[in-house]
């Protein structure tokens, strides 16, 4: 993948934002993995969240920090590079996955890239996320692109299959060639305070995943409280999660900015304590370009520029890309186009 900078779009820092650094990819990304640390119940129980303060912080972020004009276009292009294009429907077919992979290779129409002056930047999606059955299809369709294939696993989305079956599923997806694995935890461990059991579960996923990047899905909308979100985040990172992920996208409540604040601060706290940097993935209900910008701004303010790269931040979505393309077309032409001009696959 080539350098994604542009003199017009990735220039010096303005007052309203900063151009993120070049993404870390390939072998360099694997070298940054979190190996995990021994379980520490005292650290877990010490996590407490002031809900009103977190909600106030999340509510003020979109009003205090905005990016406009060229900078907004640049940040939207960066959002695309952090996008996990997702096909997780019951009616998915090999053809659906192949079209999604083609979109991941070329996520923005050529005429828009030409108008933006970014045709040489090789803008691509961060990954393609599919069910285990479609891993071989996605690997063939993405061959030579450098785009990783992510497979949902471990009894996705509920995480209620027997643990042995879930571990076998993780191993099978890794053996099939998935470079990234999005695994669902057992929510009951969080709701009943069985933190050591949750640690053992995620540690088992880490070992079963082998060299694959492990994204641990917390299903935050089903954890009851923000304190539970903070504690589950720390346990997952202690057990070796490379990313902590908000949701499966199947819950009634998915990725919200207050949850993002809590998870980002958990990542920061874990890094300060262990020196290991863990990524964050926001998934579920993120459909509008402005929502993607809010998450990027949250990552920048809470964690810094390194979390504006696909090695540290992902957006899991199936329809978001279409709205981002519409915004880019509006930027270049001054007009909004119909959604059908920007198919997601």
Q: Average pLDDT in the 107-130 region?
A: 93
User: HSE of 237 in the Cβ direction (CA atoms, 13 Å)?
Assistant: 29
Q: Write phi, then psi, for 217 (nearest 5 degrees).
A: -85, 115
Q: 3-class SS at 130? A: strand
What is the full DSSP assignment across 102-122?
A: HHHHS-S-HHHHHHHT-GGG-
- For the segment 131-179, what is each residue's pLDDT rounded down to a tens digit? 999 999 999 999 999 999 999 999 999 999 999 999 999 999 999 999 9
- Model confidence at 343, pLDDT cuts 50, 70, 90, reads low
Enumerate domains of the chain plus CATH numbers. 38-341 (3.20.20.70)
Question: How does pLDDT run across 31-68, given as a tens digit for each residue?
Answer: 468 999 999 999 999 999 999 999 999 999 888 777 77
Mean predicted lDDT score pLDDT of the chain: 89
Active-site annotation, residues: 182, 245, 281
The token duo for 58 is 């999340």
Per-residue model confidence (pLDDT) at position 47: 97
**Mean pLDDT lowest for which of 102-106, 305-309, 313-317, 337-341?**
337-341
Confidence (pTM): 0.88
Residue pair 61/298 in contact (Cβ under 8 Å)? The answer is yes
Return d(Cα 241, Cα 260) in angstroms, integer.
Answer: 17
Task: Tell me how far CA of residue 281 lies from CA of 49, 68, 83, 87, 110, in angstroms.
Answer: 20, 24, 9, 16, 28
- Given a cut of 90, whether residue 190 has pLDDT beyond it is yes
The answer on pLDDT for 260 being more than 50 is: yes
Quick one: pLDDT at residue 12? 30
Q: Token digits for 334?
A: 């001054």
Q: What is the mean predicted confidence (pLDDT) over 8-24?
A: 35
Alpha-carbon distances of 306 from 6, 19, 279, rounded to whole Å: 18, 11, 10
């Amino acid at each position: 993948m080539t350098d994604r900078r542009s003199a017009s779009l990735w220039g010096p820092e303005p007052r309203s934002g900063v151009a993120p650094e070049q993404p870390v990819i390939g072998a360099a990304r694997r070298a940054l993995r979190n190996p995990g640390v021994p379980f520490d119940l005292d650290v877990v129980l010490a996590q407490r969240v002031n809900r009103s303060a977190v909600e106030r912080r999340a509510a003020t972020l979109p009003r205090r920090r905005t990016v406009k004009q060229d900078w907004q276009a640049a940040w939207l292009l960066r959002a695309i590079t952090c996008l996990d294009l997702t096909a997780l429907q019951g009616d998915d077919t090999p053809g659906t996955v192949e079209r999604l992979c083609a979109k991941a290779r070329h996520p923005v129409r050529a005429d828009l890239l030409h108008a933006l002056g970014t045709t040489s930047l090789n803008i691509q999606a961060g990954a393609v996320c599919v069910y285990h059955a479609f891993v071989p299809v996605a690997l063939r369709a993405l061959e030579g692109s450098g785009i990783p294939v992510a497979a949902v696993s471990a009894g996705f989305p509920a995480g209620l299959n027997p643990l042995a079956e879930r571990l076998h599923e993780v191993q099978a997806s890794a053996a099939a060639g998935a470079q990234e694995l999005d695994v669902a935890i057992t929510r009951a461990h969080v709701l009943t305070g069985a933190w050591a059991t949750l640690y053992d579960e995620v540690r088992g996923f880490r070992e079963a995943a082998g060299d694959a990047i492990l994204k641990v899905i917390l299903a935050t909308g089903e954890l009851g409280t923000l304190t539970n979100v903070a504690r589950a985040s720390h346990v997952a990172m202690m057990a070796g999660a490379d990313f902590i992920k908000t949701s499966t996208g199947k819950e009634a409540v998915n990725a919200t900015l207050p949850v993002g604040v809590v998870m980002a601060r958990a990542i920061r706290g874990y890094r300060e304590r262990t020196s290991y940097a863990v990524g964050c993935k926001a998934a579920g209900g993120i459909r509008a370009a402005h929502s993607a910008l809010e998450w990027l701004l949250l990552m920048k303010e809470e964690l810094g520029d390194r979390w504006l790269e696909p090695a540290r931040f992902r957006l899991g979505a199936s329809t978001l890309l279409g709205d981002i393309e519409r915004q880019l077309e509006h930027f270049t032409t001054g007009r909004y186009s119909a959604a059908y001009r920007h198919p997601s696959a």
